[in-house]
């Protein structure tokens, strides 16, 4: 069965510094998708970044980038130049390929990021 593990329940970063959130997953599939979602306090969850497993190049979105290590089944999120608005719960998620008429979407347990002024 596929699993997603976020081993850091909470992390802190100084404003303007860089922080990396870890995520590992387990799957026997070769073609899948990985996501990082952000849930700010009392606000809706939104997509931060996504990665297709068949792409070797790491995805980037402005200050957010990932380090995708397929062999190691690792998918970490790097936030550069951290801002107060980055404070949130971050969830790593895995989506399986669409087979047999369905697919699975699995979330990790989340990492709460605090940004210190």
Partner 1 sequence: DVKVTQSSRYLVKRTGEKVFLECVQDMDHENMFWYRQDPGLGLRLIYFSYDVKMKEKGDIPEGYSVSREKKERFSLILESASTNQTSMYLCASSPSGRVTADTQYFGPGTRLTVL
Task: State the Cα–Cα distance between residues 95 and 25, nearest whole angstrom.
Answer: 11
Contact 75, 66 (CB under 8 A): yes
Pick from 16, 46, 84, 116: which binds partner 1 (CB under 8 A)?
46
- Is the torsion defined by CA of 117, 90, 66, 64 positive or negative? negative
Q: What is the largest CA-CA distance in the chain?
A: 49
Task: State the Cα–Cα distance between residues 6 and 108, nearest whole angstrom.
Answer: 6
The verdict on 100 binding partner 1 (CB under 8 A) reads no
Pick from 37, 79, 82, 113: which binds partner 1 (CB under 8 A)?
37
Number of residues assigned to the chain: 117
Site pattern 54..93 for partner 1 (x: CB under 8 A): -------------------------------------x-x
Nearer to partner 1, 44 or 57 (CB): 44
Least separation, in Å, of the C-beta of 81 and partner 1?
24
List residues binding partner 1 (CB under 8 A). 6, 9, 33, 35, 37, 43-47, 50, 52, 91, 93, 95, 98, 102-103, 105-110
């Amino acid at each position: 069965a596929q699993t997603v593990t976020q081993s850091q329940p909470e992390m802190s970063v100084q404003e303007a510094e860089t922080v990396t959130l870890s995520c590992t997953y387990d799957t026997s599939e070769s073609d899948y998708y990985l996501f990082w979602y952000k849930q700010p306090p009392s606000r809706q969850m939104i997509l931060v970044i996504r990665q297709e497993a068949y792409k070797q190049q790491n995805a980037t979105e402005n200050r957010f980038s990932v380090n995708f290590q397929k062999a190691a089944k690792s998918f970490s999120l790097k936030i550069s130049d951290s801002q107060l608005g980055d404070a949130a719960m971050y969830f790593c998620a895995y989506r399986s390929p669409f087979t047999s008429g369905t697919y699975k979407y699995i979330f990790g347990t989340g990492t709460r990021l605090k940004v210190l002024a």
